[in-house]
Amino acid sequence: MTVGFDWNLVSDVREILSFHFMLNAMRAGTIVAVVCGVVGYFMVLRRQSFAGHTMAVIGFPGAAGATWLGVNAGIGYFGCCVLAALVIAALPGGGRAAGSTGANSEESAVIGTLQGFALACGFLFVSLYQGYLSGLTALLFGSITGITDAQVLVLLVAGVFCLAVLAVIGRPLLFATVDAEVARARGVRVRLLSAGFLLLLALTVAGTSQVTGSLLVFALLVAPAATAMRLTARPGLGLAISVTVAVLVTWLGEGIAFFSPYQIGFWVTTLAFVGYLLAVAGRWLADRRLVRAPGTPLPAVPVR
Amino acid sequence: MNPAGVVSGGRQLLAADPVTGLGHLLGQPFLQHALAAGTAIALLSGLVGYFVVLRGQVFAGDALSHVAYTGAIAALAAGVDLRFGLFAGTVLVGLLLGVLGGRAGADDAVIGVVFAWVLGLGVFFLAYYTAHASTGNGAASARVLFGSILGISRSAAITAVGIAAGLLVLLAVIARPLLFASLDPQVAAARGVPVRVLGAGFLALVGATAAEASQAVGALLLFGLLAAPPAAALRLTSRPWRALALSGGLAVAAVWLGVVLSYAWPVLPPSFTIMACSTAEYLLAAGWSWTARAGWPARTSQHSVAR
């Protein structure tokens, strides 16, 4: 069977799905995208992008070390990401990217140190495992080949677990995110929730890394959520948009990567970025129309 | 990773007494280049890194290190000098982050979206380069990501030292107003310090530093020199100028120790040993401040009161 793109999309999709590895890639991608859309929304809302990135980066030595030892890479991803989440949860600020000159700017330096050391360990494992340099690209930037049935099952279990837990803690978590002080006064256990969310984030990141690679997790974790936030401030609608964008970006990215010589990482990040730009442009146009709606007078300008 | 001949050299270093071993080490031209370039780059990174941490811009530094990868690979794909892409990419994005960020500093979600895409572009250029270049594809990518300080040539070392010296002079010129603007932006602005211009210029400087440092330790391990030494310095002292000097010194020490360790045990790549040394420095500093009862206990007690 030859692989080729034509403009009959139905036959293209049929061709993609006739390969078992592509079927697995699509299944894994869909699970990961749905979970990313939801968890990523909370992550962006909680301004914990830096913590998410750190976990992704720490997953890399886990996977490289597991490969070096001959263990399943998935174990390395999940183990190291959860470990990273526990460390970050133990820090006082909970892994937020510091504002301008916040008190936790030093903490972000500590997280940065952790990140650098983790990557250095990953590099050590890769160089100990001779002749692994082509695998390095797959670990860092993702690949659509080589996702096994067992991996899909693990991703499904982890994904369902994350969504179930989030369905239970979603409301108090949103409360604690929007106004931590008031939530604490109303008896919400803010610190426990924060640690629990970091663990969910770790599971999500570990799963996503296996599809997009360690360095490109943000394409599914940040970009869809940021896109949704540009379009609406309502959490329910925002979550729906975020999941939709993540799933669309994954399907399109995997489909295009199948027919093109360039890796999935490039297509997924580019599609996600284009989506974000469209949302920014749409927001800007909508705001302009709101200000200069036909028939309404221009806003009064105070005379100085 | 290491050049041939390192293996036997390493054995000699371990076998001989320390003084002759060190003399042998310094006699190797590639080590002279590595130490010269490494010292200049480490000093620059340690000093700039202190301001990065002080201004809470570690995440922006993270983004710039990823831009460094894309810039270098794009330059390789276009067939021009790798360093041209490095500096052009990082300085440009640094300026962009500084200008777009405005007063509040760029939103972390925006930084995340942009740098994920920039890295994706890096993947694109890598695939293009791999398809069109005849030699050394995977190795080139790994070298940009994780650096190879022992592979720096004589001319590259001289250029690196020269650029680092220039950037250090620039930092010395803006250091005073920058410290003022970092510690108290409102008062600094009221006193006539151009806070916004300074902020954008500083991010461009961070970009140039990232380009310099990625020649030594690689784009991904930048934090070993940019975040770990200032974090350790902040554990040891709260006085700004002393912490600044300490940060630079700790970064240089990490590079020296790392190069020597990697020379003694060639199994360990130099980027790993440098990173391990700077992490160890931070852990030692944190342990020291823990026993001296400064810093963390105060913050935890504040937390228990709030709860």
Residue B60, CB half-sphere, CA atoms under 13 Å: how many? 35
Q: Is the pLDDT of residue A100 over 50?
A: no
Q: Residue A223: list chain B partners with CB under 8 A.
A: 112-113, 116-117
Please report whether residue B155 resides in a domain. Answer: yes
Would the CB atoms of B112 and A53 count as touching at under 8 Å? yes
Residue pair A200/A51 in contact (Cβ under 8 Å)? The answer is no
Would the CB atoms of A128 and B56 count as touching at under 8 Å? no
Would the CB atoms of A270 and B307 count as touching at under 8 Å? no
> Mean pLDDT throughout A112-119?
86
pLDDT above 90 as % of chain B: 18
- State how far the Cα of A221 lies from the Cα of A216, in Å rounded to an integer: 9
Residues in chain B: 307
Q: What is the dihedral of CA B307, A104, A90, B273, to 10 degrees?
A: -170
Domain that holds residue B57: 6-287
Please report whether residue B142 resides in a domain. Answer: yes
Q: Is the pLDDT of residue A101 over 60?
A: no
φ/ψ of B287, rounded to 5, equals -65, -40
Would the CB atoms of B112 and A270 count as touching at under 8 Å? no
Q: Is the pLDDT of residue B210 over 60?
A: yes
Q: Read off the pLDDT band of A16 (50, 70, 90).
A: confident
Q: Is the pLDDT of residue B194 over 60?
A: yes
Q: Residue A137: list chain B partners with CB under 8 A.
A: 126, 138, 141
Domain that holds residue A172: 9-215
Please report whether residue A298 resides in a domain. Answer: no
The domain tally of chain B equals 1
Q: Which amino acid is at A63?
A: A
pLDDT above 70 as % of chain A: 87
Average pLDDT over all residues of chain B? 80
Residue position matching structure tokens 């461009």: B204
pLDDT tens for B111-121 read: 888 888 888 88
> Mean pLDDT throughout B78-105?
78
Q: Is the pLDDT of residue A303 over 50?
A: no
Please report whether residue B227 resides in a domain. Answer: yes
* Range from A99-103, A224-228, B7-11, B142-146 that averages highest in pLDDT: A224-228
Q: Which amino acid is at B307?
A: R
Token pair for B225? 């020199």
The domain tally of chain A equals 1
CATH label of the domain that carries residue A151: 1.10.3470.10
Residue in B285, B280, B210 with CA at minimum distance from that of residue B58: B210
Closest CA of chain B from A295, distance in Å? 34
- State how far the Cα of B157 lies from the Cα of B32, in Å rounded to an integer: 9
Q: Read off the pLDDT band of A98 (50, 70, 90).
A: very low
Residue A24, CB half-sphere, CA atoms under 13 Å: how many? 18
> Mean pLDDT throughout A108-123?
85
Please report whether residue B1 resides in a domain. Answer: no
A/B interface, count of CB pairs below 8 Å: 213
* Alpha-carbon distances of B164 from A116, A291, B58, B159, rounded to whole Å: 22, 50, 21, 8
pLDDT computed for residue B246 by the predictor: 92
Count, in order, helices (H) and strands (E) of chain A: 13, 0
Please report whether residue A259 resides in a domain. Answer: no
* Range from A104-108, B124-128, B204-208, B213-217 that averages highest in pLDDT: B204-208
CATH label of the domain that carries residue B37: 1.10.3470.10
Is A119 part of the contact surface with chain B (CB cutoff 8 Å)?
A: yes
ipTM: 0.79
Q: Of all helices (H) and strands (E), which one includes residue A138?
A: helix A133-141
Please report whether residue B164 resides in a domain. Answer: yes
Please report whether residue A66 resides in a domain. Answer: yes
More confident residue, A51 or B20: A51
Please report whether residue B298 resides in a domain. Answer: no
> Mean pLDDT throughout B161-182?
90
> Mean pLDDT throughout B232-236?
88
User: Which of A164-168, B19-23, B30-34 is the least confident region?
Assistant: B19-23
pLDDT computed for residue B234 by the predictor: 87
Q: Is the pLDDT of residue B222 over 90?
A: no
Please report whether residue A261 resides in a domain. Answer: no
Please report whether residue A44 resides in a domain. Answer: yes
> Mean pLDDT throughout A275-302?
72
B218, B231, B269 ranked by CB distance to A124: nearest: B269
Would the CB atoms of B109 and A100 count as touching at under 8 Å? no
Residue B19: DSSP 8-state: H
> Mean pLDDT throughout A91-120?
67
pLDDT tens for A129-138 read: 765 556 777 7
pLDDT computed for residue A54 by the predictor: 85
pLDDT tens for B237-258 read: 888 889 999 999 999 999 999 9
> Mean pLDDT throughout A238-253?
92
Please report whether residue B294 resides in a domain. Answer: no
Residue in A228, A205, A282, A217 with CA at minimum distance from that of residue A250: A217
Q: Residue B125: list chain A partners with CB under 8 A.
A: none
Q: Read off the pLDDT band of A292 (50, 70, 90).
A: low
B56, B121, B231 ranked by CB distance to A99: nearest: B56
Using DSSP, state whether B266 is helix, strand or coil: coil
Is A35 part of the contact surface with chain B (CB cutoff 8 Å)?
A: no
Q: Read off the pLDDT band of B302 (50, 70, 90).
A: very low
